[in-house]
Structure 1
Amino acid sequence: MEMDMNGGGKVVCVTGASGYIASWIVKLLLLRGYTVKATVRDPKDQKKTDHLLALDGARERLQLFKASLLEEGSFEHAIDGCDAVFHTASPVKIIATDPQAELIEPAVKGTINVLATCTKVSSVKRVILTSSMATLHSPNFPLGPNVLLDETTFSDPTMVYTLQDFGRKCGMDVCQGQQLGLGHNESRTRKNTFNRKHHRLVDVRDVALAHIKALETPSAKGRYIIDAPIVTTEEIEKILREFFPDLCIAHENEDIDLNSMTYKVNVEKVKSLGIEFTPTETSLRDTVLSLKEKHLV
């Protein structure tokens, strides 16, 4: 992955910075020379912030700020003086007893809160918003091998149009990125997502770089989808056995209809930003090596 020093002297904000994708965005931004003002719910929570403070360049160019999605104006100090804002903060729960209150309300209110703050800060010219593949399809959206999803596809266009119109009226570019990751930002009640037989996995480094390229490409605008072809549990297991010969994965018949996984996704727009997809084999091997390095396996 190339590391251009495009961010020298530029200040950007990353909300929800301790999150999985956001942490990688912060890491790559620092490597590219940006100064990062990162928001977290509690800057004193070392379990959530130590990995950020340990990043290369963090000592010199990373500041942590306390902010809450539902607290109006709480992002002002972090966004003040920034050239751009990466809004990744959103509640993440695999199981939600009240999805409206636990997921939708804070996600929507938090996004409007951040955008409203950006309108007050004249230096902010672009906002990059982390979204979800749920904006392309929902449980009631028919999927199959003849379905092609692209940036014009909406499961519920109301909110998406609202955000883009909000940005246009306020003179800001709002770039939305849809990404699909195993168990990320989904309120599914599935007991174990790995019990599925089929997966569509994207390397988190590719997702993070796509966010940054959306900032660094002047012509970037609108939505960007980043997705990957289907990979089976058996194919994943075969790669993992390279490291764990005695690996045993319990297969439960909990899979959704394969037909609903065979839809096609046009990813040419995100490729136009200069994103080259990391092969699934490389992602899995690097994941295992990282876990071994940290003595987690």
Structure 2
Amino acid sequence: MEEQDSRHRTVCVTGGAGYIGSSLVKKLLEKGHTVHATLRNLDDHSKVGLLKNFPEANTKLRLFKADIYNPDEFNLAIQGCDFVFHVATPFQNSTQSSQYKDTTKAAVASVESIVKTCLRSGTVKRLIYTASVMAASPWKEDGSGFKDSMDESCWTPLDLPNNYYRSNFLKDYTFSKTIAEKKLLNYECKENKLELVSLACGLVGGDTVLSYIPASLGCLMSQPLNDPNSYQSLEFLQELLGKVPIVHIDDVCEAHIFCMDQWSLQGRFLCASDFITTKEVADYFCRYHPDICIADEFLGRHGSTVRWGSTKLNDVGFKHSYDAKLIFEDSFQCLRKMGAFE
């Protein structure tokens, strides 16, 4: 796949203070790009300070207030940009918002608004959407079990019984990411002025520039942490997908930038370097970190026989740098540095 020239660009990152967003902003600045990053609240000094302390931030970073529940607020941040990374996503419905009744409505509205803003801008060449593998379940349409493999053709069925979901949050998040991603990709056939890329990421681990444990990292490490709430989410992922796709935060950021750097690119790409079971996670820490005591209820289970069948991102030239062991080790050292195992 041919890459564009390496000139420095102006890009927008929505949700710039989140787990993926903050690491992506940092990496883009390091590569010399000018970054427009959005935050819900510019009066949050901890988040603003985090971003402003990145190298090159003084001259290359502009911060904009924009809330996913008020999608028109993203207009100013997108103006003059060459590429947009739509990373922000609603996790829980805002009780102060009367505009949207749930997270799905908010997620779809933000996608629609940002696509239209990119089209109106006259400058944005490509919109890269941070999707989730939770929207790519390999369940067969007739509900009889899993397909042989999980790839870009898989979509999570929205007619699963309510008791399948372990919490309202997991149901709402799965619905919002699935419907919003489908909405984005439907624009592909209607508009040819803007390239649309959906990057469906696995469960993200590794280090973080944040001062707290991000939900994704906490979920991946829920077994050595003996955290019942996060472990519930991890088990749900395995039930939904057969096994758990995992990916390192550095690979996630590099994959986003890779998708920007290509001369032309559009469509859906799954992004994960390993496809593991909850039992394999527990077995790893029991073997290599025996000082960490994992309670019996967190020792995990064997998954299904479904295989990771996605090669689309690799086929266009992207290479993951981190395997499962490196993801586990970097995640472990990150949490140890934060004092999680004291």
Inter-partner Cα distance in structure 2 for 1:158 and 1:108: 7
AA aligned opposite 1:134: M
Q: Quote the offset at 1:284 in angstroms.
A: 2.2
Aligned to 1:148: 149
Q: Partners of 1:143 and 1:86 in 2: how far apart? A: 37
1:137 corresponding residue in structure 2: 137
Percent identity, please: 26
What's 1:258 paired with?
303
Tell me, in whole angstroms, the C-alpha distance in 1 between the residues paired with 2:248 and 2:323: 8
Choose 265-274 or 210-219, whichever is displaced more.
265-274
- The aligned amino acid for 1:220 is L
- The answer on whether the counterparts of 2:139 and 2:147 sit within 8 Å (CA) in structure 1 is no
How does 1:1-297 map onto structure 2 within 5 Å? 8-93=7-92, 101-137=101-137, 142=143, 146-155=147-156, 160-167=181-188, 168-169=190-191, 171-181=193-203, 184=216, 191-193=229-231, 196=235, 199-227=244-272, 228-231=274-277, 232-238=280-286, 241=289, 245-252=290-297, 258-259=303-304, 262-271=305-314, 272-293=316-337
Instruction: Give the direction of change, closer, same or farther, for the CA distance of 1:253–1:27 in structure 2 (3 Å limit).
Output: closer
What amino acid sits opposite 2:154 in the alignment? T
Structure 2 vs 1, CA of residues 193 and 61 (structure 1 numbering), >3 Å: closer, same or farther? Answer: same
Alpha-carbon displacement from aligned partner over 1:9-64 (angstroms, at most 9, x marks no partner): 31000001111111121122112111100001012212323322222222221111
The 3 A distance-change label for structure 1 pair 171 and 165 is farther
Shift of the 211–145 alpha-carbon distance from structure 1 to 2, 3 Å rule, reads same
Give 1:25's aligned amino acid.
L
Q: Which amino acid aligns with 1:180?
A: G
Tell me the secondary structure at the aligned position of residue 325 of structure 2. Answer: helix
The 1-side partners of 2:155 and 2:284 are apart by 31
Letter in 2 for 1:73: D
- 1:39-98 C-alpha deviation (Å, 9 max, x unpaired): 0101221232332222222222111100011224211110000001000110125xxxxx
Backbone CA RMSD of aligned residues: 3.4
TM-score by length of 1: 0.81
Q: Give per-residue Cα distances to partners, 1:169-208, cap 9 Å, x unaligned.
A: 151001001112166499xxx7232774964321111111
Shift of residue 276 of structure 1? 2.0
CA contact (8 A) 2:282 2:294 kept: no
| Contact 2:12 2:85 survives alignment (8 Å) | yes
The corresponding residue for 1:96 is: none
Residue pair 2:25, 2:35 contacting (<8 A) in 1 also:
yes
List runs of 5+ in structure 1 lacking aligned partners. Answer: 94-99
| 1:160 positional shift | 4.4
How far the C-alpha of 1:289 sits from its partner, in A, is 3.2
Q: CA deviation at 1:155?
A: 3.0
Do the aligned partners of 1:9 and 1:33 also contact (CA within 8 Å) in 2? yes
* Deviation sequence 1:261-286 (CA, Å, 0-9, x none): x4222232111332224012112222
Rate the CA distance shift 1:239–1:127 in 2: closer, same or farther, 3 A.
farther
Aligned pairs, number: 282
Which structure shows the higher helix fraction?
A: 2
Structure 2 residue matching 1:169: 3-state secondary structure: coil
Farther-moved stretch of structure 1 (61-70 vs 144-153): 144-153
Query: Take 1:61 and 1:263, find their aligned partners in 2: how far apart are those partners?
Result: 45
Letter of the 2:132 partner, please give it: S
Equivalent-residue separation in structure 1 for 2:150 and 2:76 (angstroms): 38
Q: CA deviation at 1:152?
A: 2.3
